[in-house]
Amino acid sequence: MKVLIVGGGGREHALAWKCAQSPRVDEVLVAPGNAGTELEPGVRNVNIAATDTERLVELAKREAVELTIIGPEAPLVAGITDAFQARGLRCFGPSRLAARLEGSKAFTKDFLQRHRIPTAGYRVFNRASYDAVWLRAQKTPIVIKASGLASGKGVVIAQNLQEAESAVQEMFAGRFGEAGSEIVIEEFMQGEEASFIVMADGTQVLPLATSQDHKRLLDHDEGPNTGGMGAYSPAPVITSAVHARVMREVIDPTIRGLREDGSPFTGFLYAGLMVGDDGTVKVVEFNCRLGDPETQPILARLRSDLTVLCDAAIDGNLAQVEAEWDSRVALGVVLAAAGYPEQVRSGDAIDGLEAAALLPGKVFHAGTRRADAQCVTSGGRVLCAVGLGNHISDARRDAYALVSCLHYDGMSYRHDIGYRAIARE
Ligand code: AMP
């Protein structure tokens, strides 16, 4: 069969790589893909943007694609799954209504409250309803969020009320465009963050291996927030007791609540969690798709055929399948481009990919493209080097061995990926 992966980042390279290993799969198409998917055996790039739903539907029809997996949130929030299904095409991802869980933080906070799922206390405002007097009575730090999609950048953790007020005003002034016309102001939560990703078929869920990422740009969790500078799986903070609690208090009521509300969720559901010292769990956010870079280490550990799992979910049969995992730890280090996450420079030539390919582990591409015979940077996060090992320190050693092969002007990365898990080891 043919599989189509929609998107062009590191997550999509990992999805394409994984699907291409399936004995059921003849060819994987990736739209638009990157230089890594272009070189991957059994994979073909198609130059169509991830948000060009009409042309993607035509492509899937023309190529007789039997399974489409959507990587990024923007097409999901815009309703790509509904468009595929309306044309009789099998597509793994939530409907437009279910994807509101990521598309609107205000919707999600109200949903969580209505279904009594633990999360930070909050209020939602637009310009007309905004109450500056209320804000001045709040404790700091306090968190200000643009409600709509802002590529992970629409969150400000204000250390004092002045910072909070100016974040509110910037959002209403259009710093994040339409995404900030409505804002959520919420309590600051203490604890350790972890990602909990499941596959859902509307009713049943299949939890994927746990993971944890590093959002800040610099070592020791300093510098600005990014899309993610590295990740590893499993996440030791998710003990079996915490796992059971997340399923009971977060995942099950979310899937049940969405079904009851008439928007059942089929797809990858990503819960960003804050785990307190006492083992309590609160929802920070939901994503309606796999995380990037968490996907790269998670799929590096998946032994089962991903296409079988996706098909089972589309057919409402998730209860019939199990996922088998490599018992080793996987750790991925993201290599970023000059200027990331602000003004990103593109076009720097990447050296060392051939040398890295001879080592254990895998280098997934993200913001890369081919220019003549050379692979060059073309996005903020450029590559993700994943190592596997019996212990997290072994996985880290292999990942950084890959990194040491690679070079381009302006390359930056964190040197401490996995430090929390190593401290627990
Ligand atoms: P979000 O886009 O909602 O996931 O927020 C981005 C990042 O901001 C999260 O991964 C957290 O690191 C941080 N964050 C968001 N909300 C809170 C909160 N209420 N308390 C503490 N940190 C938060």
**Tokens standing for residue 61:** 């029809």
Nearest atom (ligand 1) to Cα of 189: 20
Model confidence at 412: pLDDT above 80:
yes
Could you tell me the distance, in angstroms and rounded to a whole number, from the CA of residue 276 to the centre of ligand 1? Answer: 14
Quick check: CB of 207 below 6 Å from ligand 1? Answer: no
CA-CA distance, 271 to 288, in Å (whole number)?
9
Q: Please, which pLDDT band fits residue 234 given cuts at 50, 70 and 90? A: very high
- Residue 337 CB coordination number (10 Å): 26
CB neighbour list of residue 178: distance below 8 Å, 6 or more residues apart:
148
| pLDDT the model gives residue 225 | 87
Quick check: CB of 292 below 6 Å from ligand 1? Answer: no
SS (H, E, C) the chain: CEEEEEECCHHHHHHHHHHHCCCCCCEEEEEECCHHHHHCCCEEECCCCCCCHHHHHHHHHHCCCCEEEECCHHHHHHCHHHHHHHCCCCEECCCCCCCHHHHCHHHHHHHHHHCCCCECCEEEEECCCCCHHHHHCCCCCEEEEECCCCCCCCEEEECCHHHHHHHHHHHHCCCCHHHHCEEEEEECCCCEEEEEEEEEECCCEEECCCEEECCEEEHHHEEEECCCCEEEECCCCCCHHHHHHHHHHHHHHHHHHHHHCCCCCEEEEEEEEEECCCCCEEEEEEECCCCCCCHHHHHHHECCCHHHHHHHHHCCCHHHCCCCECCCEEEEEEEECCCCCCCCCCCCECECHHHHHCCCCEEEECCEEEECCEEEECCCEEEEEEEEECCHHHHHHHHHHHHHHCECCCCECCCCCCHHHHHHC
- Residue 236 CB coordination number (10 Å): 18
Could you tell me the distance, in angstroms and rounded to a whole number, from the CA of residue 273 to the centre of ligand 1? Answer: 9
CA-CA distance, 93 to 201, in Å (whole number)?
10
Specify the residue with its C-alpha closest to ligand 1, atom 9.
284
Probe target for ligand 1 pocket from 145, 151, 155, with the most ligand atoms within 8 Å of CB = 155
CA-CA distance, 15 to 212, in Å (whole number)?
18
Specify the residue with its C-alpha closest to ligand 1, atom 2.
152
| pLDDT the model gives residue 425 | 79
Mean pLDDT, the chain, rounded, equals 96
Closest CA to 311 of 92, 96, 81: 92
| pLDDT the model gives residue 353 | 98
- Residue pair 365/383 in contact (Cβ under 8 Å)? The answer is yes
Quick check: CB of 366 below 6 Å from ligand 1? Answer: no
Q: Residue 256 carries which side chain, given as an amino acid letter? A: R
| pLDDT the model gives residue 150 | 86
Could you tell me the distance, in angstroms and rounded to a whole number, from the CA of residue 205 to the centre of ligand 1? Answer: 25
Instruction: For the sheet with 2-7, list strands across it.
Output: 43-45, 27-32, 2-7, 67-70, 91-92
Could you tell me the distance, in angstroms and rounded to a whole number, from the CA of residue 155 to the centre of ligand 1? Answer: 7
Quick check: CB of 215 below 6 Å from ligand 1? Answer: yes
Quick check: CB of 120 below 6 Å from ligand 1? Answer: yes
Mean pLDDT value across residues 52-77 = 98
| pLDDT the model gives residue 108 | 96
Mean pLDDT value across residues 258-262 = 97
Q: Please, which pLDDT band fits residue 167 given cuts at 50, 70 and 90? A: very high
Backbone torsions φ then ψ of 405, nearest 5 degrees: -80, -25
- CB burial class (10 A; 0-12, 13-18, 19+) of residue 278? exposed
CA-CA distance, 243 to 328, in Å (whole number)?
19
Specify the residue with its C-alpha closest to ligand 1, atom 11.
284
| pLDDT the model gives residue 151 | 79
Quick check: CB of 193 below 6 Å from ligand 1? Answer: yes
CB neighbour list of residue 371: distance below 8 Å, 6 or more residues apart:
347
Cα distance between the two ends of the chain: 42
- Residue pair 96/30 in contact (Cβ under 8 Å)? The answer is no
| pLDDT the model gives residue 403 | 98
pLDDT tens figures, 150-164: 877 789 999 999 999
Q: Please, which pLDDT band fits residue 81 given cuts at 50, 70 and 90? A: very high
Quick check: CB of 272 below 6 Å from ligand 1? Answer: yes
Quick check: CB of 155 below 6 Å from ligand 1? Answer: yes
Quick check: CB of 420 below 6 Å from ligand 1? Answer: no
Q: Residue 188 carries which side chain, given as an amino acid letter? A: F
Specify the residue with its C-alpha closest to ligand 1, atom 14.
284
Probe target for ligand 1 pocket from 119, 138, 284, with the most ligand atoms within 8 Å of CB = 284
Nearest atom (ligand 1) to Cα of 120: 19
Closest CA to 209 of 140, 294, 274: 294
Residue with tokens 């059971």: 244
Could you tell me the distance, in angstroms and rounded to a whole number, from the CA of residue 123 to the centre of ligand 1? Answer: 15
Q: Please, which pLDDT band fits residue 386 given cuts at 50, 70 and 90? A: very high
- Residue pair 50/74 in contact (Cβ under 8 Å)? The answer is yes
pTM: 0.96
Quick check: CB of 143 below 6 Å from ligand 1? Answer: yes
Nearest atom (ligand 1) to Cα of 272: 4
Quick check: CB of 3 below 6 Å from ligand 1? Answer: no
- CB burial class (10 A; 0-12, 13-18, 19+) of residue 287? buried
Probe target for ligand 1 pocket from 147, 149, 157, with the most ligand atoms within 8 Å of CB = 157
Closest CA to 69 of 281, 221, 290: 290
CA-CA distance, 135 to 164, in Å (whole number)?
8
Specify the residue with its C-alpha closest to ligand 1, atom 1.
285
Could you tell me the distance, in angstroms and rounded to a whole number, from the CA of residue 157 to the centre of ligand 1? Answer: 8
| pLDDT the model gives residue 10 | 98
pLDDT tens figures, 305-332: 999 999 999 999 999 999 999 999 999 9
Could you tell me the distance, in angstroms and rounded to a whole number, from the CA of residue 181 to the centre of ligand 1? Answer: 19
Specify the residue with its C-alpha closest to ligand 1, atom 5.
155
Quick check: CB of 284 below 6 Å from ligand 1? Answer: yes
